[in-house]
Amino acid sequence: MEFLKQKVEALQQEIANIQPGNADELEAFRIKFLGTKGLVKDVFGAMKDVAPADKKDAGQLLNAFKQFAEGHYEKFKHLQGGSGQAKQAGIDLSLPGTHMPVGTRHPLRVTENEIVSIFNKIGFTVAEGPEIEDDWHNFTSLNMPADHTARDMQDTFYVAQNPDWILRTHTSSVQARVLEEGNLPVRVICPGRVYRNETISARAHCFFHQTEGLYIDKNVSFADLKQVLYYFVTEMFGSNTKVRFRPSYFPFTEPSAEMDISCTVCGGDGCNLCKHTGWVEILGCGMVHPDLLRNFGIDPEEYSGFAFGMGVERITQIKYQVNDLRLYSQNDVRFLKQFTPIQ
Ligand code: DAH
């Protein structure tokens, strides 16, 4: 047994001193130590000379030695870049891999996904409509007949080939698309891109994104509207956020309101985001106008509902404090990569 120990130690020492520098030297090492007539095999042959009482220890010793020799071989094989084949092909497998940059979601999509999933949780499903709309769905059916002044507020892009076709100015057009399907009750959330003929600046753009909500059922009241929107705000901005409703006017709702939240940056003390008022406006809302229900053959005595519409850029601006709208469409990766990586 002592003799075996010494022999193994000597061999281990020898192996440790060999550092094969190329494929040929590595192969020579393999043949010498690990080959069928190699020294590892040879030393295993010495087992027969070991006393029966020592056989167990000797077995362990030899196995550990074998592993050592194999490990040494594998290490150099790896360092040299794997098999001889890869080497011959000029591929160095030991080089670090090429870094593949992981993409990121667009910040507006991050926000939109979050809005949608918050409303999904309370039973709203997604509805979508076309970006090239007709006058009826975007305006007339929503209580904005041809001479309505509210149309002027939304500088509309018209499609040259057909004056009845426009680029939708708001996602409220999807309300019309959903209502004409005639399925009640309605509980939808409608994200999408909208267009207005505005000069591009830090604060305005010719296209942007909105998310519309529509809820129609029996016995829906303003209290339901408030509770749903309050739930949304606390999910989106945290449970400390306060809300307030200000009376407003939209042709498709009556009564109408605008909703503000307590400033998420200064907590209400006053800062640039809230223009030192402590409040930031985030959406328009109201009870669906009875005329609008009638336009789609729904009896306002039987059904009522609420609607709301919010700007996705606005919500994103508040969440991430982005203060130039143009950043969203410039595709500058230095800006884009600051947002959630794709999971
Ligand atoms: N469509 C409005 C806009 O673009 C936003 C809006 C206000 C939508 C009130 C609504 C609502 O559904 O009830 O400014």
Helix/strand/coil (H, E, C) string of the chain?
Answer: CHHHHHHHHHHHHHHHHCCCCCHHHHHHHHHHHHCCCCHHHHHHHHHHHCCHHHHHHHHHHHHHHHHHHHHHHHHHHHHCCCCHHHHHCCCCCCCCCCCCCCCECCHHHHHHHHHHHHHHCCCCEECCCCCEEEHHHHCHHHCCCCCCCHHHHCCCCECCCCCCEEECCCCHHHHHHHHCCCCCCEEEEEEEEEECCCCCCCCCCCEEEEEEEEEEECCCCHHHHHHHHHHHHHHHHCCCCCEEEEEEEECCEEEEEEEEEECCCCCCCCCCCCCCCCEEEEEEEEEECHHHHHHCCCCCCCCEEEEEEEEHHHHHHHHHCCCCHHHHHCCCHHHHCCCCECC
Q: Residue 157: is its pLDDT beyond 90?
A: yes
Q: Is the pLDDT of residue 199 over 70?
A: yes
| Mean local confidence (pLDDT), 13-28 | 87
Round to whole Å and give the CA distance between 116 and 111. 9
Q: What is the pLDDT of residues 30-49, one digit of tens each?
A: 999 999 899 889 888 888 88
Q: Is the pLDDT of residue 267 over 90?
A: no
Band (pLDDT 50/70/90 cuts) for residue 290 is very high
* 246-250: average pLDDT: 97
Q: Which two tokens stand for residue 185?
A: 């009750």
245 & 146 share domain: yes
- Ligand 1 touching residue 304 (CB < 6 A): no
Does 128 share its domain with 258? yes
Residue 310 CA, closest ligand 1 atom number: 5
Q: Residue 225: inside a domain, yes or no? A: yes
Pairwise CA distance, residues 9 & 65, whole Å:
9
Atom of ligand 1 nearest to the CA of 253: 13
Q: Is the CB of 253 under 6 A from ligand 1?
A: yes
Q: Tell me the backbone φ, ψ of residue 241, rounded to 5 degrees.
A: -70, 135
Residue with the nearest Cα to atom 12 of ligand 1?
308
Please give the tally of structural domains in the chain.
Answer: 2
Q: Work out whether strand 207-217 and strand 304-311 pair parallel, antiparallel, or are unpaired.
A: antiparallel
Q: Residue 150 domain-assigned?
A: yes
- What is the tens place of the pLDDT at every residue in 63-96? 999 999 999 888 888 877 655 666 667 777 788 8
Is residue 98 a part of any domain in this protein?
Answer: no
Domain limits for position 41: 2-88
Domain stop point among 40, 58, 88: 88
d(CA 242, CA 260): 8
pLDDT in tens, 223-236: 999 999 999 999 99
The reply to whether 327 and 210 lie within a common domain is yes
Give a yes or no: residue 30 inside a domain.
yes
* Same domain, residue pair 45 and 146: no
Global pTM reads 0.74
Is 142 a member of any domain?
Answer: yes
Q: Looking at the structure, tell me whether residues 53 and 133 fall in a common domain.
A: no
CA gap 183, 185 in Å, rounded? 6
Tokens for 226, please give them: 């408030």
- Same domain membership, residue 30 and residue 144: no
Nearest by Cα to 73 from 42, 11, 28, 8: 28
The domain that holds 322 is classified in CATH as 3.30.930.10
Same domain, 195 and 319: yes
Determine contact, residues 207/195, Cβ cutoff 8 Å. yes
Percent of the chain with pLDDT over 70: 96
Q: How confident is the model at residue 101 (pLDDT cuts 50, 70, 90)?
A: confident
Say if 285 falls within a structural domain: yes
**From the CA of 140, how far away is ligand 1's center (Å)?**
15
What is the share, in percent, of the chain residues with pLDDT greater than 90?
Answer: 66
212 lines ligand 1 (CB under 6 A): yes
The answer on 316 and 230 residing in a single domain is yes
Question: Residues 112-131: what's their mean pLDDT?
Answer: 98
State which of 36, 59, 88 marks the end of a domain. Answer: 88
In a domain, 94, yes or no: no
My answer on whether 119 and 256 are in the same domain is yes
Does position 216 have pLDDT exceeding 80, yes or no? Answer: yes
The atom of ligand 1 lying closest to the CA of 194 is: 4
- Are 78 and 205 found together in one domain? no
Domain edge (last residue) among 56, 88, 120: 88
Residue from 174, 285, 312 whose mutation best tests the ligand 1 pocket (most atoms within 8 A of CB) = 285
| Ligand 1 atom showing the smallest separation from residue 252 Cα | 13
284 belongs to a structural domain: yes
Pick 285 or 153 by higher pLDDT: 285
The mean pLDDT value of the chain amounts to 92
User: Given this model, what pLDDT does residue 87 score?
Assistant: 65
Q: Do 156 and 292 fall within a single domain?
A: yes
Measured from the CB, is residue 124 less than 6 Å from ligand 1? no
* pLDDT attached to residue 207: 97
**Are 318 and 264 in the same domain?**
yes
